Chains A and B, each alone.
Chain A
Amino acid sequence: MLLRVEDLHKRYGKEEVLKGVSLFLDRGETKVIIGPSGTGKSTLLRCLNRLAEPDQGRIWLEDREITSPKVNINLIRAQIGFVFQDFNLFTHLTALDNVRLGLLRVRRLSKKEATARAMRELERVGLADKAQAYPAELSGGQQQRVSIARVLAMDPKLILFDEPTSALDPELIGEVLTVMEDLAKSGMTMLVVTHEMGFARRVADEIIFMEKGVIVEQGPPEQLFRSPKHPRTAEFLRHIADLYGGER
């Protein structure tokens, strides 16, 4: 098991956002988390690399307990990629430098090695020709692909995607999903929060439906989409189909 989460709780002030979430991920697996907004999906992802500190519960990456106070969280984070909804590329750096920063300053590679590796990852997301462009000179889809390259360059054991296409214009979503789909096929372990049901159905090994801070139901996409066990899951899927006009 690559990632194991046990009974995770997180509260912001009075509101308990996560009310005991447990899940696991095997190596090479892709799981997709769906659910209404404000149900703690993003918070859950952020707890997994402790960008948000969980209040209770334990998390293991392989056999290392991430939630242990003794752990060097920076070393753990370097092994867990995180792709943000609004990309968060470093605005003062070119695409190449965005991808290189972690290699130079966290992995401490030489400039030559870092550059070669960064260029390889930019090529992988189809943006080698944009290496010298600043984020503001790239489209949203290109920015998100650079941010994926930035994560890939670190050679992560696991990548967390926090609604990676939600900030994109509809015509730019496809290019990002394609990159993600290729990644999943190449054997990357991925945990994806998204509303892209078509992507979820095609790529996920398992769908997790979350609502109000708990996992309501989980299962393989075919089963969950076709015959959800829980009425809330069925209702949510109907709602999403209305909103997005069926699957993409």
Chain B
Amino acid sequence: MEGEALGGLPRFWPLTWEHWLRVWTRLPPLLEGLSVNLALLGGLLAVGFVLGVLVAILEVYAPRPLRILAFVYAWVFRSIPEILLLLLLWFGPAQFGVRISPFTAAVLALGLRSSAYQAEIFRASLQAIPVGQTLAARALGLSRLGAIRFVLLPQALRLSLAGWGNEFAVVLKDTTLAYAIGVVEVMRQARYIGSREFPLTLPAFLLVALLFLLVTYAGLFLLGKAERKLRIPGLEARR
């Protein structure tokens, strides 16, 4: 830990051009870390999407007790700080003799949190669909679930794309919180670099910032493309 100041102010260490150039040679471990963040992102978005859709459907269409349960769920997971959720999911299961990896704990914690926010996005979209769509679906003989599956949800998901892109940009950055429970992701890699060679701490962090700029840009670019590809005349205009 040579050179690192623990529990105090960072040490003064004048950076030279040499440091700024040398940090680029540490790109491989950072990219390796970033790939873990992307894996976390994929996992948490998937968990969040599946649970989010389910919770949104319950919030809008379920009988009262289930609806209340869904609202409580959304309230709980939107209220607890993410860092606390991570720690709870990391230390909690061990109490019951269940051992999960920090990676799994992070996917679950961040996924549960995201599901609550995604549920709000999908709920708003479901509620924006005119009631005539439901009537027409039911009049054809579709069941309640059939109407949701074939008519309401496909429309709601398209209407949700913009809001979902926003959620994507938020949770992408949240994956770095997994650092707190020991997942070797990009922040931890940056920290390793800094602890091996203290002067590289700041350049490594800045390089991580640059990586996130790029990934966020790429992600939003792809989402925008998807939005255009999935656009249906007259559907979005209604919002």
Contact = CB atoms under 8 A, between A and B. Distances in A.
A42 to B, nearest CB: 11
B137 interface: yes
Interface in A56-90: 74-82, 84, 86, 88-90
A191 interface: no
Interface string B115-156: 000000000000000101101111111110010001100110
Contacts of A84: 132, 135-136, 139
Contacts of A110: none
Given A51-B139, A78-B141, A154-B141, A91 B238 contact: yes
A106 interface: yes
A64 to B, nearest CB: 14
Given A88-B135, A90-B151, A105-B150, A136 B142 contact: no
B237 interface: yes
A135 interface: yes
B235 interface: yes
A90 B232 contact: no
Given A84-B132, A84-B135, A136-B237, A92 B232 contact: yes
A105 B235 CA distance: 22
A204 B195 CA distance: 89
B233 A74 contact: no
A49 interface: yes
Contacts of B232: 91-92, 134, 136
B78 interface: no
Given A77-B141, A154-B140, A91 B235 contact: yes
Contacts of B154: 92
Contacts of A135: 234
B146 A105 contact: yes
Contacts, number: 78
A77 B132 contact: no
Contact of A91 (B133, B140, B141): B133
Contact of A51 (B138, B233, B234): B138
Contacts of B155: 90-92
Nearest to B149: A105
B124 to A, nearest CB: 17
B26 interface: no
Contacts of A51: 135, 138-139
Interface centre among B133, B139, B155 (most CB of A within 10 A): B139
B237 A74 contact: no
Contacts of B19: none
Contacts of A86: 132
B158 interface: yes
Nearest to B153: A92
A101 interface: yes
A101 B140 contact: yes
A74 B141 contact: yes
Contacts of B135: 51, 84, 88
A83 B159 CA distance: 26
Given A88-B135, A90-B137, A91-B155, A102 B233 contact: no
A150 interface: yes
Interface in B87-135: 130, 132-133, 135
16 contacts: A76-B141, A77-B138, A77-B139, A77-B140, A78-B141, A84-B132, A90-B137, A91-B155, A92-B151, A105-B142, A134-B232, A134-B235, A135-B234, A137-B233, A147-B136, A150-B140
Query: Across chains A and B, which 6 residue pairs bring their CB atoms closest together, nearest first?
Result: A136-B234, A78-B141, A88-B136, A88-B132, A82-B139, A102-B140
Interface of A: 49, 51, 74-82, 84, 86, 88-92, 101-102, 105-106, 134-137, 147, 150, 154
